[in-house]
Structure 1
């Protein structure tokens, strides 16, 4: 079984929006989270979906699921105080319904242009290797500075990648990674793959896409609007 876990527990603080989280912002009459959910709902390999959501927005989410006929959502899960806690809440919520070898495809709700190909490649890789991260090669030179004032290192660009989501795992592995992190009092990780690496396990890479960007600023919103308006996304 392949389960999409959609993380929608953020409040969009970096965008300075106070009336609603960014995942609920309308783009041409449809909230960003709906674009994301529709892609997972329409994907033939995704069996069920769990959505991690802010408690105060849960009723709004239920209305959207009915309105847009998102039928694969099986679990609605209360978000935590951090990304790590939100993912672990999802793991606990679905644990009675899944097997150790089932695949969790964990994705940010504010990456609405994820393609079916990326999701399929995640599932295939996670089934084979246990843990998978979606990345794109870094096309810019990355500068490392320890103080924000001067260059301390210029890493080799050919070795650098930009992380995206989905991040996908066999259920037993990601559950063990989170429980080990909690036991070690590591409680605020922003990356599930790091928790798996901390176990000494390997994480394989699959290629993402520049269109699979995360909405974090108003510039991102403008770009998303332009892409959708021009119809240049190919959700296959």
Structure 2
């Protein structure tokens, strides 16, 4: 079984003054989180979907799922204080549902332009290796500075990648990692791959796409609107879904 886990627990502090969490901002009459869920809903290899959501927005999300007939969404799970807490809540919720070899495709709700190709390749590679990160190549020169004032190193760009999501795992791999990591290391981790890597499991790479960017600032919202306008005015028929 392949389960998409959509992390929709953020509040969008870098977006500035907004009335609602960024994932619930409407773009062409449809909330960003719905755009994201639909990418998984329409993918033939996704069996079920779990959405991790802020407690105070769970009822609104239920209404959106009914309105847009998102039939693969089986669970709405309360978000934690951090991203890692939210993932852990989802894992605990699925303990009596998943088998060891089931695949969890964990994705940011704020990355609505994910393509079907990225989801497919995550599933294929996770079946082989058990753990996958989605990345894109670093196109600009990478500069390392330890104090933020002076350059300490300029490493070779070809060895560096920018992380995206999904991050995908066999259920047994990620649950074992979360069950064994210390609280201190979990707090230090910035994403699920770092936790799985600390557990000792190697992470394979799947190439992402520049279009699969994360909505973080108001500029990103403008970019999203432009991309959706180019692809059938945001009605869901993304020209890049089958790349």
The alignment's TM-score, normalised by the length of structure 2, stands at 0.94
How far 1:178 moved relative to its partner? 1.0
Name the stretch that deviates more: 39-48 or 143-152.
Answer: 143-152
Say which SS state the counterpart of residue 97 (structure 1) adopts.
Answer: coil
How far 1:184 moved relative to its partner? 5.1
Written as runs of structure 1 = structure 2, the 5 A alignment for 1:198-217 is 198-217=198-217
Give the match for residue 234 of structure 2: none
**Cα deviation per residue 1:72-103 (whole Å; 9 max; x = unaligned)?**
01111000000000000000001101100000
Say which SS state the counterpart of residue 173 (structure 1) adopts.
Answer: helix
Give the match for residue 10 of structure 1: 10
Question: Does residue 234 in structure 1 map to residue 240 in structure 2?
Answer: yes
How far 1:213 moved relative to its partner? 0.3
> Distance in 2 between the 1:134 and 1:155 partners?
21
2:186–2:195 Cα contact (<8 Å) kept: no
> Distance in 1 between the 2:155 and 2:32 partners?
35
Give the match for residue 106 of structure 2: 106
2:53–2:79 Cα contact (<8 Å) kept: yes
> Distance in 1 between the 2:155 and 2:50 partners?
38
Unaligned runs of 5+ in 2: 232-237
Unaligned runs of 5+ in 1: none
The alignment's TM-score, normalised by the length of structure 1, stands at 0.97
- Alignment length, in residue pairs? 235
> Distance in 1 between the 2:183 and 2:88 partners?
15
CA RMSD of aligned residues (A): 1.0
> Distance in 2 between the 1:197 and 1:187 partners?
12
> Distance in 2 between the 1:233 and 1:155 partners?
36
Give the match for residue 235 of structure 2: none
Give the match for residue 187 of structure 1: 186
